[in-house]
Amino acid sequence: MTASITIIGMGACGVAAFAEATIRLAASPQPGVSFDLVERDDDLGPGLAFGTDQPGHLLNTESRLMGLYAHEPRHFRDWLRARRALDEDAAEYAPRAEYGAYVREVFAEARRRAEDAGITVRVHRSEAVAIEGGRDDAHVRLTDGTTIAADYVLLALGTPKPRRFAHLDGRPGYIDFPWPAARLRNGVDRDAEVIVLGSSLSAIDTLATLLDEKHRGRIHFVSREGMLPRVEIPAPEAPFERRHFTLSAMHRLMRERGRRFSIVDLFRLFRREAEEASDTPIDWRAEDRFGGDALAALDIDIARAEAHGELFQRILTAARYEASEMWDLLSPRDRARFGRWLAPHFATARFTMPIVNARRIAAAGARGQLTVRGGVASTEWDDDTCGFVASFADGDTLRAPVVVNATGTAMQLDDIPDALVTDLVARGWLHAHPSGGIEAHRHSGAVITRDREAPRLYAIGELVNAVQRDTNAVWFNVACAERAVQDMLAKVAGTRA
């Protein structure tokens, strides 16, 4: 009996899934299992996130967490050490181009492992645009006319470009996504004033590209919140023993009170954890940076990181392995409240930037080249001046000939312009989760659909952001890829029993 597994998207997530599958099948063969690997880009492995060659594009996660093999988070660190000297007492945020080379090597090794084990692997350099048929006769249709018979399909679609600000599409000087970096290198005059929509990690990557290219014009980060990510402590992660902000404490509250855990409970536990761990009283009003002076706060954050004193970061990173299960304890109503009340503050403390990037931003601000502003209300095209106008809640405006949409990846299902996603939604095989992405099983990534005859679909990465929460972290996606592969192979074995 044969079983075909199709992986759509061969960036880091797809490679991690394929590598895990070949490891398991080489160790415990299941004859007849084959793989179809679909990737629209010529370069298999790095994907959009790690296909960059910009020297200023660094990983935002320390190398000790970036291994692509399940249960081997340090594998990338070991790979680096075999190629160049590393300071074992320092954190290492490698260039993304270097990580792209690592992903290519993991993929090549997985292909060799498959060949040695007699596993059939077919690579399709095309784009998947539809899945036709049903549970027992599914076919993936590609833009080159190829159709692939698939018993199981894993959607590893990577970083979806959002539809936000679609009203600016086609305007001269509008760049709807900062990736690939060549769009900025080739599309922005070095003396042009630039408005960057967003002030988080994607905006920082945009700034890095422009500064790498010796940009001379002023650059403005504009967003609703006006906050920058906090700064990663420049040292290997130190242990932090949580006493209150734990999955155990949350579950205990539910058991004792007989009602669901709430977003208010979540913040109270975090606050208690921070206050007990802090050597000095915490000024919570000062820590609310919404609409504040982001560059002044950055100076504070750099000093805290250098002193290893970024407490919020230490608490949240220590909780990373429980975060998905914590999220699962919240009701849909409280997840929505989290998005409105806490999400921006959580993101700045959890998804931090390397200190080298922080210093680069601070230097750009100090010389007057960079501003960071909150309270943006709209960004429009002005026919009279043939340029863009960003309007703020206080009535102020900002004009520039170039706008870069760096608001991050698409989170809501209807905000993802991918042709395959659109097709699957139209067929009723993908359903929007109220907090973002699609409905899927939190553990296995199996897509939840109301159509019992739908193809056997799985998803990892941003497509399941609301269910699994930490889907912008490679280490988390590697763990999810392992579970998805484990579930698929168990089902293949079960049909043969």
User: Do 139 and 12 share a structural domain?
Assistant: yes
Q: Are residues 142 and 117 in the same domain?
A: yes
* Position 176 in a domain: yes
Query: Does residue 489 sit in the same domain as residue 380?
Result: no
Question: In this structure, is residue 21 part of a structural domain?
Answer: yes
Q: What is the pLDDT along the chain (497 residues), one digit of tens a residue?
A: 689 999 999 999 999 999 999 999 999 999 999 999 999 988 888 887 788 888 899 999 999 999 999 999 999 999 999 999 999 888 999 999 999 999 999 999 999 999 999 999 999 999 999 999 999 999 999 999 999 999 999 999 988 777 889 999 999 999 999 988 999 999 899 999 999 999 999 999 999 999 999 999 999 999 999 999 999 999 999 899 999 999 999 999 999 998 888 999 999 999 999 999 998 999 999 999 999 999 999 999 999 999 998 999 999 999 999 999 999 999 889 998 998 889 899 999 999 999 999 999 999 999 999 999 999 999 999 999 999 999 999 999 999 999 999 998 888 888 888 999 999 999 999 999 988 899 999 999 999 999 999 999 999 999 999 898 888 899 999 999 999 999 999 999 987 65
- My answer on whether 101 and 188 are in the same domain is no
DSSP letters of 245-286? SSHHHHHHHHHHHSS---HHHHHHHHHHHHHHH-SS---HHH
DSSP letters along 33-85, please? EEEEEE-SSSSTTTHHHH----TT-B-SS-GGG--SBTTBTTHHHHHHHTTS-
Residue 190 belongs to domain spanning: 166-224+374-405
What Å distances lie between residue 328 and 18, 48, 139, 260, 446, CA to CA?
27, 29, 33, 11, 16
d(CA 364, CA 360): 6
Q: Tell me, what CATH number does 472's domain have?
A: 3.50.50.60
Bridge-partner residues for 152, per DSSP? 5
Indicate the SS3 state at residue 240.
Answer: coil
Is residue 249 situated within a structural domain?
no
Answer whether residue 319 is part of any domain: no
Same domain, 201 and 135: no
Instruction: Give domain status of residue 247, yes or no.
Output: no
Distances (CA, A) of 229 to 237, 343, 363: 18, 12, 16
Q: What stretches of 119-172 show up as alpha helix (H) in DSSP?
A: none
- 398 and 442 in a common domain: no
- Within a domain: 58: yes
Examine residue 432 and state whether it is found in any structural domain, yes or no: yes
Strand partners, 216: none
Do 65 and 89 belong together in one domain? yes
DSSP 118: T
Q: Do residue 152 and residue 8 come from a single domain?
A: yes
- Closest C-alpha among 277, 280, 265 to residue 318: 277
Are 23 and 121 members of one domain?
A: yes
Distance from C-alpha of 246 to C-alpha of 461, rounded to nearest angstrom:
24
Does 447 map to a domain? Answer: yes
pTM of the full predicted structure?
0.94
How many domains does the chain fold into?
2
Same domain, 215 and 73: no
Does 210 lie in the same domain as 182?
A: yes
